[in-house]
Amino acid sequence: MNDLVLEVNHLRKLYPVSQGIVDSLRRLPQRWVHAVDGISFTLKRGEILALVGESGSGKTTVGLCTLGLVEPTEGHILLQGEDVVELVHSRRRQELRRQAQLIFQDPYESLNPRQTVLRAVAEPLQVHHLAAGKADRVEKVTVALEDAGLKPASTFLHRYPQQLSGGQRQRVVIASALVMNPLYLVADEPVSMLDVSIRAEILNLLLSLRDEHNITMLYITHDLASAAYLADRVAVMYLGVIVEIGPADVVLNDPRHPYTQALMSVIPVPNPRRRHKRMVLQGETPDPIDLPSGCRFHPRCPEANHICSEVEPRLEDLGEDHQAACLLVSGTGENGQSAIPVMGEKVRS
Amino acid sequence: MTLLQVKDLTVEYHTDAGIFRAVEHLNFRLEQGKSLGLVGESGCGKTTAVLAMMRLLPEAGRIVGGEARLDGTDLLRLSPTEMREYRWHKISMVFQGAMNALNPVRTVGSQIEEPLLLHETTPRNRAKEEVARLLDLVGVSPSRANQYPHQFSGGMRQRAMIAMALACRPRVVITDEPTTALDVMIQAQILDLLQELQAELNLSIIMVTHDLGVVAELCDDVLVMYGGRMAECADADTIFNQPAHPYTRRLLLAFPDINDPRAELASIPGFPPPLDNLPPGCRFEPRCDAATAACAHEIPVDVEVAPGHRASCLLARPRKG
């Protein structure tokens, strides 16, 4: 049990749709954005889970909920066995803020242009009173910068963000998370704004942080190829739910959900000899306000049949710790169930 | 048939801080109905090169040499008035950042209509019809012509930008990072669209991108740029399977491959050279793991590695057999 760093159970997060005055006078019912609609997963110490999905799939909301920055509508999130929401409302909030850190997407916007690298990275230390005096602060910042690959740190301390390249800025952002010695790190699209040639070094840095500091990570991305490179396990999200989850090797070698298959087929392969048919889904992810009935993916699914618009699939065991939520995929694992028994239980009107 | 031939293109930026050479002696050709990928890291001069051809360089930019012949006419020698006849009619561009390239306070339809009316390719009373045809061509429902850009998703805005570029039926379309800010699935839709349009309209496309995957999926030929110069140029198969320039090889090693996810990614150490401090010899020498003493001071000349395959590297040799 001690090995589990993060447990997410049936997490839901709904946002109210703002109503105009006319709507409220007409007493129209409140409508909701189903950003995250019932997801569960766990993370072991030192594990990297990639949360993969398109814009609007709810992956960032999940990340923010696990950090206690967004309060869930339903469900529980346990960080090392303690309820994150309770921690946020208790005196031990500072402890949570130390242990759980976030790396933002855009290193061009997440650093204050008027702060030196030293000030930016030292700020969390000051907020948490973690440094005994200036010398200690500089010492801790130096260690964090070098851990983030900015060596020698002394040449970076007094620079401003505009004097750094995109890759170096992202390293500064990572250093300001590392300086707190976090247990758990959420990396939200940390490489999508960077040049391809720099992405590899940031991904390798994240891997080395896991190996050397045993940091547990939630890697949020829309890019399955980088997820495959970095993560131990992969969870594919669509419209607020996980449609497939499992060990990265297993999911990528044998994707079972049609959505995962489509996502994989559209990833550009860096060799013209391996050009293949792209399974391009038409249209865009539907609105998370009025969700499709049955399987949320059925309006865009190339394999959908009449059942799919009526029955909401649940995650089914496929063996090897691999699960997919699709009525057309039958379980092969020990607890595997075919789609048929599910029908009777959960028919949506 | 060669449609566009660029020879010795050299572009400088004249600024208060000095003169910077952003593109130097660039040579390439674009065949009718083919697509050419222009690849390199940020700041390697790829956007400057295409803006020079469009004659849309920012004020500080100067074309100091070379030619760009489109069907025999040198675009770089045309007067501004003559160029206006060519731009959009013969050669057009889909600008980087579809999110921000449209005017937010005008309807999408009126923005697509603008080049039609300005260039008088379509009489005013037929313009609406033509806008509908263009929107349909790029897969947007013509009924949305009266909507504003904020009512369009990112992918739809990119489609509208493509419709605008096609308005005057050009033969060459330049796309600058057409899919960079888009989600993977929308990116795939746009790539499919470009491929269909290319086949349907016999378009020639120059695709500026740093994404090697997109190039491998779509382009017939590839030009790899580094520090404002050509590093390597060949057909796509050769670039990806028999690269001759160390920079091309390093770029390929840095790109994740979904078919081989555990292959170790190696980034290229260091940064592209700043324009105010270019290395005297080969521009890639400071970052090159194959560099010899000569590379630091000798400027490499183009080596014909094989017919149609050029590499600008002192170590490149013609391939045998």
> Distance from A92 to chain B by nearest Cα, in Å?
38
Contact B91, B70 (CB under 8 A): yes
What's the average model confidence in pLDDT over B50-68? 95
Is B141's Cβ below 8 Å from some Cβ in A?
no
The predicted pLDDT at position B154 comes to 85
Residue keyed to tokens 């003493």: B293
Is B260's Cβ below 8 Å from some Cβ in A?
no
Q: What is the pTM of this model?
A: 0.88
Nearest CA in chain B to A203: B265
Is B40's Cβ below 8 Å from some Cβ in A?
no
Domain ranges of chain B: 2-90+170-311, 100-169
What's the average model confidence in pLDDT over B240-252? 95
Is the CB of B184 less than 8 angstroms away from the CB of A270?
no
User: What tens digit of pLDDT does each residue of B282-292 get?
Assistant: 999 999 999 99
Is the CB of B265 less than 8 angstroms away from the CB of A269?
no
Sorted by sequence, the CB contacts under 8 Å of residue A318 that are 6+ apart come out as A246, A256, A324, A329, A331, A332, A333, A336
Asked whether residue B231 carries a pLDDT value surpassing 50, the answer given is yes
- A138 class by beta-carbon count within 10 Å (0-12 exposed, 13-18 middle, 19+ buried): middle
| Residues facing B38 on adjacent strands | B208, B223
Is B41's Cβ below 8 Å from some Cβ in A?
yes
Query: Is A4-254 in CATH node 3.40.50.300?
Result: yes
Domain ranges of chain A: 4-254, 255-349
Asked whether residue B38 carries a pLDDT value surpassing 60, the answer given is yes
CA dihedral in degrees (A137, A139, A140, A145; nearest 10)? 120
Integer Cα distance of A328 and A317 in angstroms: 13
Integer Cα distance of B5 and B67 in angstroms: 8
pLDDT string in tens for chain A (349-residue length): 458 999 999 999 999 988 888 877 888 888 899 999 999 999 999 999 999 998 889 999 999 999 999 999 999 999 999 999 999 999 999 999 999 999 988 888 889 999 999 999 999 999 998 888 899 999 999 999 999 999 899 999 999 999 988 889 999 999 999 999 999 999 999 998 888 878 899 999 999 999 999 999 999 999 898 999 999 999 999 999 999 999 999 999 999 999 999 999 999 888 999 888 888 888 888 888 888 999 999 999 999 999 999 999 999 999 989 999 999 987 544 444 443 433 333 333 3
Which residue from A262, A273, A284 is facing B153, i.e. has the nearest CB?
A284
Is the CB of B41 less than 8 angstroms away from the CB of A197?
yes
Read off the tokens for B157. Answer: 């805005």
The predicted pLDDT at position B321 comes to 61
The superfamily CATH assigns to domain B2-90+170-311 is P-loop containing nucleotide triphosphate hydrolases (3.40.50.300)
| Interchain CB contacts (distance < 8 Å): A and B | 125
3-state secondary structure at position A338: coil
Q: Is the link from the previous residue into A341 a cis peptide, with omega within 30 of 0?
A: no
- Tell me the pLDDT of chain B averaged across its residues: 92
Mutate to test the interface with B, among A261, A266, A275, A277 (most CBs of B within 10 A): A266
Mutate to test the interface with A, among B138, B185, B222 (most CBs of A within 10 A): B185
Which residue from A248, A270, A284 is facing B257, i.e. has the nearest CB?
A270
Confidence of residue B182 (pLDDT cuts 50, 70, 90): confident
Sorted by sequence, the CB contacts under 8 Å of residue A248 that are 6+ apart come out as A50, A227, A228, A231, A232, A233, A234, B261
Q: Which residues of B touch A249 (CB under 8 A)?
A: 261
